[in-house]
Amino acid sequence: MKNIYVLAEHRKGALRDTTWEAIAAGRKLASDFGADLTCVLLAKNAGPMAELLVAEVPRVMVIDDPVFETMNSEAINLTLIEVLRPSGSYVLLMGASNSVLDFAPGLSVALDAALATDCFSLEVKDGKLLASRQMYSYKINSIVSFKNSDRVVLTLRAGSFGFSPSGAAKGSIENVQCLIDPASLRKRFVKYVEAEKGDVDISSADIIVSIGRGIGDEPDLDIFQSLADTMGGVLACSRPIVDKKLLPKYHQVGTSGTEVKPKVYLALGISGAFQHLGGIKGSPLLVAVNKDPRAPIFQVASYGIVGDLNEVVPVLEAKIKELKG
């Protein structure tokens, strides 16, 4: 593999976390393959973003054009085809975001490249690329290899590739003219529809206290909010809590809720259904309290307390208060 490309993703003029995670994965692949690493930035007023990227990657290819103000999947798709076609062997890395999902399969077909989506781990073994991804709604992990392919498109699961800024790359910025005719595009951006904003943003919280059906039918939520406050965290929940209208939807963790990337995740009365666990990214310190010792959540928990949460929570809060002085 000669070239590793990373697509820089941005929203409202700022690079998204997925970009840095793809760069982390790209650095590793470039080192393992002895390949060149290039970040492709398609943006309007790209300068400030390009400056951030060039401190982290050896080469940044920039196409600065109004058509790239938003992540227009058609414009990006057509441009990446032009960039990658002449490029010999390559791996293209992109975040597994909604915008990328929109064009990654079509792009791989147009390039006659292999595609693996939502990868959570990559390795190079005996000179071959292996990608790990989950199948059947997170029930099994699979390791994918790429038969006879020196052109590979990968999308990466958010929270799976930790990025450490070095700020020392001193790379080069290569400005390229727009390679497509914006007037020919059939897709256009209309507007951002913001998700319902709540009083908390669980997606960026470092500490989460999450409650599930085990809290019972008529719970006193103040008890759990108080524990979250004591821990310096926020209150989240599993889907039944939202279904029962105990908390608004923006508190729900999971595949049909919000993806979270906390450092500490305390699960109270949550069984550990894959739809719930699928929303917990990275490897947080996961502490589970459940009265059923066979609850699936104990298979993934860092620490487990088998017991009634009504007894455990007050003890836990008192202990944390004591430790905090």
Ligand X SMILES: Cc1cc2nc3c(=O)[nH]c(=O)nc-3n(C[C@H](O)[C@H](O)[C@H](O)COP(=O)(O)OP(=O)(O)OC[C@H]3O[C@@H](n4cnc5c(N)ncnc54)[C@H](O)[C@@H]3O)c2cc1C
Candidate segments 76-84, 114-122, 174-182, 269-277, binder of ligand X by CB under 6 A: 269-277
- Rounded-to-integer distance, Cα 34 and Cα 11, Å: 32
Contact between 295 and ligand X by CB under 6 A: the answer reads yes
Contact between 243 and ligand X by CB under 6 A: the answer reads no
Contact between 210 and ligand X by CB under 6 A: the answer reads no
Q: Are 104 and 136 in contact (CB under 8 A)?
A: no
| Three-state secondary structure call for residue 290 | strand
Q: Which of 16, 57, 252, 260 binds ligand X (CB under 6 A)?
A: 252
Cβ at position 104, least distance to ligand X in Å: 23
Cβ at position 160, least distance to ligand X in Å: 18
- Rounded-to-integer distance, Cα 64 and Cα 62, Å: 6
Measured from the CB atom, is 87 or 258 closer to ligand X? 258
Q: Are 185 and 275 in contact (CB under 8 A)?
A: no
- Rounded-to-integer distance, Cα 134 and Cα 144, Å: 10
Alpha helices in 180-293 (DSSP H): 221-231, 239-243, 274-277
Q: Which of 159, 212, 284, 304 binds ligand X (CB under 6 A)?
A: 212
Angle at 270 between CA 268 and CA 274, to 5 degrees: 140
Measured from the CB atom, is 149 or 258 closer to ligand X? 258
Contact between 157 and ligand X by CB under 6 A: the answer reads no
Contact between 304 and ligand X by CB under 6 A: the answer reads no
Q: Which of 14, 204, 292, 314 binds ligand X (CB under 6 A)?
A: 292
Measured from the CB atom, is 78 or 267 closer to ligand X? 267
Contact between 50 and ligand X by CB under 6 A: the answer reads no
Q: Which residues pair with 61 in a beta bridge?
A: 40, 174
Q: Which of 26, 171, 233, 240 binds ligand X (CB under 6 A)?
A: 240
Contact between 269 and ligand X by CB under 6 A: the answer reads yes
Q: Are 208 and 259 in contact (CB under 8 A)?
A: no
Contact between 152 and ligand X by CB under 6 A: the answer reads no
Q: Which of 45, 175, 204, 256 binds ligand X (CB under 6 A)?
A: 256
Q: 103 CB contacts (<8 Å, ≥6 apart)?
A: 73, 74, 76, 77
**What tokens were used for 291?**
């009265």
- Rounded-to-integer distance, Cα 269 and Cα 234, Å: 16
Contact between 310 and ligand X by CB under 6 A: the answer reads yes
- Amino acid sitting at position 241: I
The CB density around residue 165, as the number of other CB atoms within 10 Å, is 12
Q: Are 114 and 153 in contact (CB under 8 A)?
A: yes
Q: Are 281 and 157 in contact (CB under 8 A)?
A: yes
Candidate segments 27-35, 54-62, 170-178, 211-219, binder of ligand X by CB under 6 A: 211-219
Measured from the CB atom, is 15 or 295 closer to ligand X? 295
Contact between 247 and ligand X by CB under 6 A: the answer reads no
Measured from the CB atom, is 137 or 172 closer to ligand X? 137
Measured from the CB atom, is 12 or 245 closer to ligand X? 245
- Rounded-to-integer distance, Cα 26 and Cα 129, Å: 12
Contact between 233 and ligand X by CB under 6 A: the answer reads no
- Rounded-to-integer distance, Cα 185 and Cα 205, Å: 39
Q: Which of 26, 156, 276, 313 binds ligand X (CB under 6 A)?
A: 276
Binding site for ligand X (CB under 6 A): 212-214, 238-240, 252-257, 269-271, 273, 275-276, 279, 289-292, 295, 308-310
